[in-house]
Structure formats: structure tokens, C-alpha cells
């Protein structure tokens, strides 16, 4: 597994590399956005750890360009401030996950492992814990019991399952499920109502919470065991 670390603070970059090496991950450090950008185009990586605050070419520019070019390498974004805007912008630009500085190294390693574990998804079948979806037959089962969903609930769950373990912003749901980008705020209630219905159908009275709310940002679907 080869990881590209784009971080302009040499001490932080070196610490990240040391820590990753201890976990058995080979990494390459790019100290500028330019360097990171060119390495991404010339070498293959399994994961990118990307600081957003870089002099010159910013992390967001690199991320947007990667996704525009169709590069689907998982990206873990590092943000300096814990602002909702930063997180939403990063996720909407195509980040798979984010960490707010300063962070515990164990947390970084856990995120890195989760992102590398995802691998290549099966086009037709999605599975998260006991939850299984067949996108061809549009059927959903939970521990082999059929879950009856409306078309909208199905599409909502589909997006959450595709991004399982990662935060899906309300903006992403508005765009991908409601095909609506213009009126993000008025849609919030509609999204909440549908998420609440979906929660009732999936988790019911089991006490398990598959869909968790990330306050001010959106939702994350996790397997019950995580």
C-alpha cells in the first residue's frame, strides 16, 4: 500500500510518514501542492492524505482536479479548523473522509485502514453489515428480511450505502437524490423527514442505529458492529 502525503509543514509531514511506516504503510511526502499534484499524475497511489491549507496550489484545487480527471483514489483531507463549511466543501469536492487538526495519530490510522479496506465496489450489490442492497432488482434486505422502501427512500439509502462509513452532506443528498442544487436550505426538512422514515424502516425497534446524524453536516451509515 502506497500513500501520498501532501503536507507543507515538514515536521508534521515527517511525523505522518514515521507513523505510517510503523503501521507498515509506504508513503511519499510532497511538501507543496504543486509537487503533490504532479506526483499524483505520474505515480500510482492507494490513498492520498491531503492537507487543505497549502501555499500555492491548494488542497481543494488538487482534489477537484483529481475528481474532474476521473481519479477515484481515496482522499483523506486534513483541515486546520473545525468549521462546518470546511468539512462540507471538502466532502463536496470529492474527499472521502476528513480529520481536523490536531488529531490523534490512532484516529488517522483508523481512517486510513477504513478507506483502504473499501476496495472496488461491486456494481450491483451493496452490503453494509446486515444490510444488503441489489441495485438491479431494487431490493433491500436486513438480515435476509425484505425491507419495503419507496423509490426516494431507496435512492437515499443507495447514496448512504455507496459512501458507507463516510459522511454524506445534505448538499450531496439534495444533488444526488433530489437532483436539486439550487435550494439547499428549504430541502433540509424534506431530507430529515425521509431520513427519519428510513431509520424507522431499517432500525425499527432493534435499538441499532445504522444512520447517524453528523450535526450541521449530514449523515453517515455504518455497520452496526463499527
Task: Give the binding site for Ca ion (CB under 5 A).
Answer: 8, 51, 53
**Cis peptide leading into 102, omega within 30 of 0?**
yes
Instruction: Measure the CA angle with vertex 122, ends 213 and 206; round to 5°.
Output: 40
Least distance from C-beta 51 to Ca ion, angstroms?
A: 4
Shortest distance, position 11 Cβ to Ca ion, whole Å:
11
What is the distance in angstroms between the CA of the first residue and the CA of the last residue of the chain?
Answer: 23
For residues 51 and 153, which CB has a smaller minimum distance to Ca ion in the complex?
51
By beta-carbon proximity to Ca ion, the closer residue of 72 and 103 is: 103
How far apart are CB 36 and Ca ion at their closest, in Å?
Answer: 12
Question: DSSP strand E in 144-203: where?
Answer: 145-147, 167-169
User: What is the smallest separation between the CB atom of 56 and Ca ion, expressed in angstroms?
Assistant: 11
Q: 51 or 158, CB closer to Ca ion? A: 51
Closer residue to Ca ion in complex, CB, 53/184? 53
Residue of closest CB approach to Ca ion? 53
Is the CB of 31 or the CB of 109 nearer to Ca ion? 31
* C-alpha distance from residue 54 to each of 20, 31, 59, 67 (Å): 21, 9, 6, 19
Minimum distance from residue 54 beta carbon to Ca ion (Å): 6
**Cβ neighbours of 217 (radius 10 Å):** 18
Strands ordered across the beta sheet of 218-221: 167-169, 218-221, 211-214
- Residue 69: all three cell numbers together: 480527471
Amino acid at each position: 500500500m502506497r500513500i501520498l502525503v501532501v503536507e507543507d509543514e515538514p515536521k508534521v509531514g515527517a511525523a505522518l510518514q514515521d507513523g505510517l511506516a510503523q503501521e507498515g504503510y509506504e508513503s511519499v511526502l510532497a511538501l507543496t501542492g504543486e509537487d503533490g499534484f504532479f506526483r499524483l499524475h505520474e505515480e500510482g497511489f492507494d490513498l492520498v492524505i491531503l492537507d487543505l491549507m497549502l501555499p500555492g496550489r491548494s488542497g481543494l484545487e488538487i482534489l477537484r482536479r483529481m475528481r474532474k480527471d476521473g481519479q477515484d483514489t481515496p482522499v483523506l483531507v486534513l483541515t486546520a479548523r473545525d468549521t462546518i463549511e470546511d468539512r462540507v466543501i471538502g466532502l463536496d469536492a470529492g474527499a472521502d473522509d476528513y480529520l481536523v487538526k490536531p488529531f490523534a495519530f490512532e484516529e488517522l490510522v483508523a481512517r486510513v485502514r477504513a478507506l483502504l479496506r473499501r476496495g472496488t465496489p461491486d456494481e450491483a450489490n451493496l452490503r453494509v453489515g446486515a444490510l444488503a442492497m441489489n441495485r438491479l432488482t431494487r431490493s433491500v434486505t436486513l438480515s435476509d428480511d425484505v425491507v419495503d422502501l419507496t423509490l426516494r427512500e431507496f435512492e437515499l439509502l443507495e447514496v448512504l450505502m455507496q459512501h458507507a462509513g463516510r459522511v454524506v452532506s445534505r448538499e450531496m443528498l439534495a444533488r444526488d437524490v433530489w437532483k436539486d442544487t439550487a435550494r439547499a436550505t428549504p430541502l433540509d426538512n424534506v431530507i430529515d423527514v425521509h431520513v427519519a422514515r428510513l431509520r424507522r424502516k431499517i432500525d425499527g425497534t432493534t435499538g441499532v442505529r445504522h444512520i447517524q446524524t453528523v450535526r450541521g453536516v449530514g449523515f453517515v451509515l455504518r455497520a452496526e458492529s463499527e
